[in-house]
Amino acid sequence: MSVKRPNTAEQFRLDQPKKAASAAYTYFLAHPKDENSKRNIVYYRDGARVAESDFLDLEMVPYKEHYIRATLAYKSDEWEEVISHMEQCLEEYYLEFERCELTCEAKFSTEETEFKTGIADWMLYIMNCRSLCERDLSKVFIEPIEDFVRDMYSYLQFSYSSLKQFDQAVQAAANFLAFDPTHESMLENKRILLTREGVKEEDFQPQQEVVDYVRKNSELKELLFSIVDNYRHQQPVQEYPDKEAPEQDRDLFNEIGDLIVEMTESDDWMLRYEQLGMNVIARSVDLNREERFVTDGMLRPEQCDELLTLTEDLPTEPQGSQLFTLKVAQQKLEEDPNEEIEATLRLYARSVEVLKHYTQRYLNPDMTYYFKKSSIVCWPPSEESRTCYPQEDGTCVKFDDMSDELYSDLYTTVTYLHTADEDSDFSFLNEEKGIDRALGLKCGRTIGFNTGDRHFVKIPKSGSKRCAVVLRYTFNRDLDDRDYNDLITMLHRVEELRMATAKQKPEVVLKKFADAGVKVTKERKQLKGKERVVADGIASEAQCETLRNMVLTRGMAGDGYNGITTPHTLYELFLGLSVPDVNKSEALAGDGYDHLKTKPSEVSPHTEHELYRGMNIYRAGKLAFEEKISLGALRDFLDLSEASRLFTEKYFNLTKPLYFDFTHLVCRSAVDGSNSNREDLSHPVHADNCNLQPNGSCFREFPSFFHRDYSAILYLNDDFEGGEFFFAHGNQSEQSDLVSHSNVVSQVSVRPKCGRLVAFNAGHFHGVKAVKSGRRCALALWFTHQAMFKELAHVQVRSNHSYRNARSPVFID
Ligand SMILES: O=C(O)CCC(=O)C(=O)O
Ligand SMILES: [Fe+2]
C-alpha cells in the first residue's frame, strides 16, 4: 500500500503545456547557464508546440522560483529536490504573505483619510486588500493557483513518504489537514501513515505557523462574507468589459519591503483603530459593569450629517420614536434609486460593518458577530412625561420589564449622529433604579453594552431629535438579519443599473460638447502619447472668474497665521491677503495636502517659492450651505468638474465609468521677489498614481494614490508668467535628480488659459514649470474606475437640497 500521489488542481494546471512552458522558461531566465533548464525549454517549445509568445517572462520572486523548481523536480520524481525547494518556498511564502498584509496596513494607516470617502471605506479596503494577499501571492503563473499553500504540504507529504521519512510526512499531512480537515485523499494518506510503526494519532499536529495562517485567513473571509463579494463584483460589469486593465503587480512587495519593515509588526486591530482616531474613553471597569464600553471617533462629522439625512421624513411610532430600518432603506432605494441615496446607504453599510468589526475585536475576537438588527433610532423632542424608560432601540419599557441579567449571545452598540447637551443623555441603570453612569452624546461616540443591560435615554424637550445608529448583534448565524444582505445586493444592482443607463455613446456626448463650443486643440500626436488630450472651451470666462474668486476670497482666508511670517524661507512672506471677516478654518492652507504635516503653511508643498491655496468640493459645499459662497459658484464648481469628468470618460472612449476620486481647486502664486532665476518647478515631474523611483520606474503602490486612473486639469486663467503644464519623458533614469528642476526634459508643454482642459492617463509623467509671476489657478481632478473610491463629497454636496433644487442639469441627459 502506498501513499497517494497528490492529484491537485495545481498539478493539473502544470500539466498544461503553456503553463509548464512558462514555468520552464521562467526557470531558464533565472538560470541561463543551467543545461537542464535549456533542455526543458527546447522540450516544451518543440514537443508541446507552444507558441513563442507563451514563453512569458514571469517575474521571479524567490518563493516562486522554489515553487517552480519543486514542481519540476516532482515531475521527475526527484524527492530531495522537491522537499528542499518546497520547504524554502513555504518559508519565503509566509514572509511574503506577512509583507503583503503589512502593505495593506501601511496603506490603511498612512493615506490621507480626510479626503477619502471615509474611515469605513478604508476599513473595507484593508480587509479586502488583506484577503487578496493569499490569492495574489498564489499567482506563480498568470492565474492564481487554487489551494496553493495547502497543496505544497501535499507535495511534501508525498515526497517525504517516498523517501520513507515518515515523521516529516506526518507533519506535512497534519499541516495539510489544518487547511482542510475533511480532505478525503489526505485522510486516506493519514490512515496509511498511521499503519507505519511508531506513528500515532497525536503526532498529527500542525505547526503553529500553519494554524495561525489558516485561522487568519478564514477569519478574514468570514468577515468579508457578505460585503466584500459585492464590492468585488462591482468592478467589471458585462456592459463594461475590463479594457486593458493593467494587472497590478503585487510582486513589488520586495521593493517596498523596507518601508514596511519600519511599520509596526503588531497585529493589534485596536492599535490600528486608534491610529484612525477611534479611542476607547471608558471601559467596563469605569462603567460599573462588564461588557460596557464607550469609544469616540467612530464617525466623522460629515458622515454623521450624511447619515442623519436618512432620518428625514420618518413616521413616528406610537411610543414616540422613529425608526430607520433596513426595510426602510430598501424601500427608499426602490422608490428612488438615485446616486445620493445609494451613496448614503453605502456609507451606512460600511459604517455598520466597521462598528461590528470594532465591537467584535474589542469584546470577543474569537467570536463571529452577526447583525440581528441594524437601524437608526430617533427620538423627536417631546414634553410628555412618561412612566416607562425610553430605550435606545426606540421602545419604552417599565423598570420591572427590563431584563435583570446579561444575555449570553446578544449585544448592542449605539453610535450617535450628533452632539447634544445633557437633555439627551444616555444612562445605565442599577438595580435600585439609580443611575450607574450617565453619558453625553457626541457625533461618532459609540456605547457598547449587553442587550440585557438596563439603561434609558433622556428625550430632549425641544430642539432637534436625538438619533443614533443602533446595532444588535448575535453570535448565532441563524439569527442573522437577511435584510442586511438584501440591502447590499440591492446597492450593487442599483450601481449596475445606473452604470448601464448612464452609458451614453461617446460620439453623442462629444457632439454636445462640440455644440457647446468645446474644441479639441491637441491630440495624442501633438502631445506625444496615447490617452492625452487638450480641449478648449470647457469653461466660460465668467465661470473661470467665479472659481478664481472662490479661492481668492474663501480659499485664501487668513492673513498668514496671525501676521507671523513663516520661518521656512526668505521668500515666504505672506501676501497679506487677509479677508478680515473670514473665519480662518474655512480655508485650509495647501488644502488637500494636509498630510504633509511639516508644511502647515500657505507655502506650496512642491516649491518654497510659491504659495498655494486651495479648496475641495466638500468645503465648497459647506461654504455654500452656510451662504458664504453663492449657490451659483458652487454650481459652477460642480458642473465644471462634471463636464471635465464626462469629457475625459468619453474622449478616451472608456468602457468603464469614471468616478471622481478627488477634486481640488487650487491657485499657486509666485512669492514676490522670487521670480528671477528660478530653477525649480512649480510641481516636480510625477505621475498621479504611482511612486516615481530614482531609477525612473514608478510603482502603483503605497503611498501613491494607486487607484487613480485618469487625471484632468481645467485651467482658469493665463495672466501669469511661467506655469506651463508639461508631459515628461517616462524614463527619468538619467535625470532622476532633475525631476524638480527647470531643465528637466519635457516632451511637450501646454500653456494654461481659461477653459482649457488637459486630460491624461494618470500614469503619465507630467509636471508644472515655475510660476514666475502672478497667480495660476486651476481645477485639478483625479478620477478612478473603482466605485469604492468615489469621492463622497460630490454626492453629498449635490444632495444638499437647496443646491439640488437650484441645479440645472448640464451635460446630463
Ligand atoms: O496644475 C497642473 O497643471 C498640474 C498639477 C498636477 O499635476 C497635480 O496636482 O498632480
Ligand atoms: Fe499631477
Under DSSP, the state recorded for 552 is I
Give the Å distance between the CA of 632 and the centre of ligand 1: 26
Residue nearest to atom 9 of ligand 1 (CA): 780
pLDDT value, residue 141:
62
Residue 576: all three cell numbers together = 497679506
CA–CA dist 532, 42 (Å, integer): 43
Give the Å distance between the CA of 767 and the centre of ligand 2: 7
Segment 619-631, tens digit of pLDDT: 788 788 888 888 8
pLDDT value, residue 351:
84
Closest CA to 204 of 179, 246, 160, 169: 169
Strands 532-536 and 455-457: unpaired
Structure-model confidence comparison of residues 579 and 472, the more confident one: 472
Strand-by-strand arrangement of the 766-769 sheet: 681-686, 766-769, 725-728, 746-750
Structure-model confidence comparison of residues 638 and 223, the more confident one: 638
Segment 420-443, tens digit of pLDDT: 988 999 999 998 999 988 999 999
pLDDT band at 593 (very low <50, low <70, confident <90, very high): very low
Atom of ligand 1 nearest to the CA of 668: 1
Mean pLDDT of 65-74: 82
CA–CA dist 442, 468 (Å, integer): 10
Tell me the sheet residues that pair with 681: 769
Are 471 and 373 a contacting pair, CB within 8 Å? yes
Q: Which ligand is nearest to the CA of 666?
A: 1
One-character DSSP codes across 440-464: -B-TT-EEEEETTS-EEEPPPSSSS
Write down the mean pLDDT value for the chain: 74
- Asked whether 766 lines ligand 1 (CB < 6 A), one says yes
Q: Which of 713, 714, 717 to mutate to test the pocket of ligand 1 (most atoms within 8 A of CB)?
A: 713
Q: Is the dihedral of CA 424, 429, 435, 436 positive or negative?
A: negative
One-character DSSP codes across 88-149: HHHHHHHHHHHHHHHHHHHHHHHS-GGGSS-HHHHHHHHHHHHHHHHHHHT-SSSSPPTTHH
Mean pLDDT of 302-326: 92
For cell 421624513, the residue is 313
pLDDT value, residue 485:
72
Look at residue 749 and give its three-state secondary structure: strand
- Cα 208 to its chain centre, rounded Å, is 32
pLDDT value, residue 588:
32
Please give the C-alpha separations between residue 404 and each of 399, 439, 494, 615, in angstroms, as whole numbers. Answer: 10, 21, 44, 54
Look at residue 48 and give its three-state secondary structure: coil
Q: Which ligand is nearest to the CA of 750?
A: 1
Atom of ligand 1 nearest to the CA of 782: 10
Mean pLDDT of 643-664: 90
CA–CA dist 79, 73 (Å, integer): 7
Structure-model confidence comparison of residues 56 and 200, the more confident one: 200
Atom of ligand 1 nearest to the CA of 766: 7
Give the Å distance between the CA of 687 and the centre of ligand 1: 10
Residue 559 has pLDDT above 80, yes or no: no
- Where is average pLDDT lowest: 28-42, 148-162, 255-269, 669-683? 255-269
pLDDT band at 306 (very low <50, low <70, confident <90, very high): confident
Give the Å distance between the CA of 682 and the centre of ligand 2: 11
- Asked whether 713 lines ligand 1 (CB < 6 A), one says yes
Q: Which ligand is nearest to the CA of 778?
A: 1
Q: Which of 685, 766, 769, 777 to mutate to test the pocket of ligand 1 (most atoms within 8 A of CB)?
A: 766
Own/partner pairs for 55-59, CB < 8 Å, 24+ apart? 55/21, 55/22, 55/25, 56/22, 56/25, 56/26, 56/142, 57/25, 57/26, 57/29, 58/22, 58/23, 58/25, 58/26, 58/29, 58/140, 58/141, 58/142, 59/249, 59/251
Under DSSP, the state recorded for 128 is H
Closest CA to 297 of 110, 111, 118: 118
For cell 448614503, the residue is 344
CA dihedral 211→4→19→257, nearest 10 degrees, is: 20
Segment 410-420, tens digit of pLDDT: 999 999 999 99
Give the Å distance between the CA of 782 and the centre of ligand 2: 9
Segment 701-748, tens digit of pLDDT: 433 466 789 999 999 999 999 999 999 876 543 344 445 555 556 678
Q: Which ligand is nearest to the CA of 606?
A: 1
Residue 678 has pLDDT above 80, yes or no: no
Are 447 and 426 a contacting pair, CB within 8 Å? yes
Give the Å distance between the CA of 140 and the centre of ligand 2: 34
- Where is average pLDDT lowest: 372-386, 477-491, 634-648? 477-491
CA–CA dist 490, 547 (Å, integer): 38
Are 740 and 746 a contacting pair, CB within 8 Å? no
Give the Å distance between the CA of 767 and the centre of ligand 1: 6
List all residues 6 or more positions away from 575 whose beta carbon is below 8 Å from its beta carbon: 560, 611, 669, 672
pLDDT value, residue 125:
60
Strands 698-699 and 766-769: unpaired
Give the Å distance between the CA of 749 and the centre of ligand 1: 13
Give the Å distance between the CA of 542 and the centre of ligand 1: 23
Give the Å distance between the CA of 89 and the centre of ligand 1: 44
CA dihedral 127→129→133→139, nearest 10 degrees, is: 140
CA–CA dist 631, 639 (Å, integer): 12
Segment holding 344, helix H or strand E: helix 339-363
pLDDT value, residue 522:
94
Under DSSP, the state recorded for 247 is P
For cell 480537515, the residue is 181
Atom of ligand 1 nearest to the CA of 752: 3
pLDDT value, residue 745:
62
Segment 740-789, tens digit of pLDDT: 555 556 678 999 999 999 999 998 889 898 888 888 999 999 998 876 56
Longest distance between any two alpha carbons in the chain, whole Å: 92
CA–CA dist 547, 555 (Å, integer): 10
Give the Å distance between the CA of 766 and the centre of ligand 2: 6
In which region does residue 503 sit, left (phi positive, over 0), alpha (psi from -120 to 50) or beta (all else)?
A: beta
For cell 474613553, the residue is 281
Taking residue 399's Cβ as centre, other Cβ atoms within 10 Å add up to: 13
Segment holding 437, helix H or strand E: strand 435-439
- Asked whether 683 lines ligand 1 (CB < 6 A), one says yes
ipTM score of the complex?
Answer: 0.99
Interhelix angle 482-502/339-363, nearest 10 degrees: 140
pLDDT value, residue 706:
66
Give the Å distance between the CA of 546 and the centre of ligand 1: 20
- Asked whether 178 lines ligand 1 (CB < 6 A), one says no
Residue nearest to atom 7 of ligand 1 (CA): 767
- Asked whether 725 lines ligand 1 (CB < 6 A), one says yes
State pTM to two decimals.
0.49
Q: Which ligand is nearest to the CA of 686?
A: 2
Closest CA to 353 of 123, 126, 130: 123
Atom of ligand 1 nearest to the CA of 664: 9
Residue 69: all three cell numbers together = 523548481
pLDDT value, residue 344:
85
Structure-model confidence comparison of residues 787 and 376, the more confident one: 376
End-to-end CA gap in the chain:
73
- Asked whether 769 lines ligand 1 (CB < 6 A), one says no
Closest CA to 672 of 620, 722, 609: 609
For cell 487554487, the residue is 146
Segment holding 535, helix H or strand E: strand 532-536
Residue 664 has pLDDT above 90, yes or no: no
Q: Which ligand is nearest to the CA of 664?
A: 1
- Asked whether 768 lines ligand 1 (CB < 6 A), one says yes
Give the Å distance between the CA of 758 and the centre of ligand 1: 10
Q: Which of 548, 711, 751, 776 to mutate to test the pocket of ligand 1 (most atoms within 8 A of CB)?
A: 711
Give the Å distance between the CA of 706 and the centre of ligand 2: 13
- Asked whether 778 lines ligand 1 (CB < 6 A), one says yes
- Asked whether 780 lines ligand 1 (CB < 6 A), one says yes
- Asked whether 323 lines ligand 1 (CB < 6 A), one says no
Segment holding 712, helix H or strand E: strand 708-715
pLDDT value, residue 124:
59
Residue nearest to atom 10 of ligand 1 (CA): 688
Question: What residue type is 679 in one-letter code?
Answer: E
Mean pLDDT of 125-132: 67
Under DSSP, the state recorded for 420 is B
Are 668 and 782 a contacting pair, CB within 8 Å? no
Segment 253-291, tens digit of pLDDT: 222 222 222 222 224 567 667 756 778 888 888 888 999
